[in-house]
Amino acid sequence: MSEVYIAGVGITPAGEHWERSLRELAFAALEGAANDTERLLGGRAPAEALFAANALAGQLSGQAHLGVLIADFAGLRGIEAVNVEAAGASGGAAIRQAYIAVASGQVETALVVGVEKTTDTIGGRVNAAMATASDSDFESVQGATPAALAGLLMQRYLHTYGLEHAVFADFAMNAHANAKANPNAMFRNTITRDAYARAGAVADPISMMDVAPECDGAAAVVLTSRPTAVRVTASAQATDTLALHDRPDLLGFDAAQLSAGRAYKMANLGPDEIDLFELFDAYTVFAALSLEAAGFAERGQGWRLAAEGQIGRDRRIPIQTFGGLKARGNPIGATGVYQVAEVALQVRGEAGASQVPNARVGMAQCIGGIGANIVTHILQAA
């Protein structure tokens, strides 16, 4: 198998892009990645395949077949192109497909672009579209939204470990503190503990301060077998039951544990050797469960890492270093690409004011559904 490297990254601001279409957002990210590659390699790397990542365009924008749409608009007609859908894990799944293509030797260079637009749609259509990532026969048909299902997990977590809702405040506060340094973040404001406590409920016990905002955005990465400064040393994916009621252990986050475990084995590393972890904090309870499942904390102790200040950029395990989903924003199908692009910048030492000191090894993990489909990537300085 060939070694796989990240040659370039392109990131558009997360937010409300009323003036830009799906194809225009995707093109902006691809052009950014191409320019970055040219700067690093001294020329643009001709790509043989394009993997798009998107979750909701077919339902919200009436546009499917995004791989071809983007390839056409970007002047890449004739290239192999496909769209990858895995709910919130779409971005990570697309990168994994590109990784497999390059590692297998089938292609030398592959493009990945994640793109999503949610803010053009108002009312309940976004919630209804997002709910299709759950079990339609037993969950969404009963009116269960993703936030409601995440609320069940949080309620179980608090009950099982005898905790109060306030223990999740530090995840939200850390995300917003880090987002201040990220010009591409949607929210660069401070969250206080008092503001967290006063926030209105979304799906009890989840409040407005526990939920990442859905938004528009696009990010792109160039994967290649040509050596560059960042090597992809692990790519792993795992699944769990789609419906929560089918899981024997609601708080195990089994797919996260399996995915992270496979990535550690592939990279020949352990949690103690990871310099930063871009986790999928669509809900603050996900942050605690992911830290535990990935081996950074014991069961029921993920919240304590945040409460003790161990998740800051210069502490034991930095997370949400560019603001995470909570403050950077959650462009759903594109989020996994944002995460890998952000980790690549960290490992290259080019994260600017968001830089984690001496970052050499970074991990990104994205989640489809309520922990049903989880993709983990580990990047190392080459």
Which residues are bridge partners to 245 per DSSP? none
- The backbone region for 75, taken as left when phi is positive above 0, alpha when psi lies in -120 to 50, beta otherwise, is left
Strand segments, DSSP code E, in 24-151 are: 49-53, 80-84, 109-116
Q: Give pLDDT, residue 124.
A: 84
Strands 217-224 and 5-11: antiparallel
* pTM of the complete model: 0.98
User: Are 242 and 135 a contacting pair, CB within 8 Å?
Assistant: yes
Could you report the per-residue pLDDT of 36-83, keeping only the tens digit for each? 999 999 988 799 999 999 999 999 999 999 999 999 999 999 999 999
Which element (helix H / strand E) includes 156?
A: helix 146-161
Place of tokens 């986050």: 253
pLDDT at site 21: 97
DSSP letter at 7 equals E
Give the SS3 label for residue 232: strand
Contacts of 289 (CB under 8 A, 6+ apart): 153, 157, 251, 253, 256, 302, 371
Three-state secondary-structure class, residue 314: coil
Q: Which helix (H) or strand (E) holds 9?
A: strand 5-11
Q: Which residues, 6+ apart, have CB-to-CB distance to 162 below 8 Å?
A: none
Residue 376 in tokens: 């983990």
Amino acid at 196: Y
Q: Convert the pLDDT of each residue in 99-124 to its tens digit.
A: 999 999 999 999 999 999 999 987 78
Q: Which pLDDT does position 237 carry in this prediction?
A: 98
Residue 55 DSSP symbol: S
pLDDT of residue 49: 98
Q: Which residues of the chain have pLDDT under 50?
A: none
Q: Which of 366, 369, 341 is nearest to 30 (CA)?
A: 341
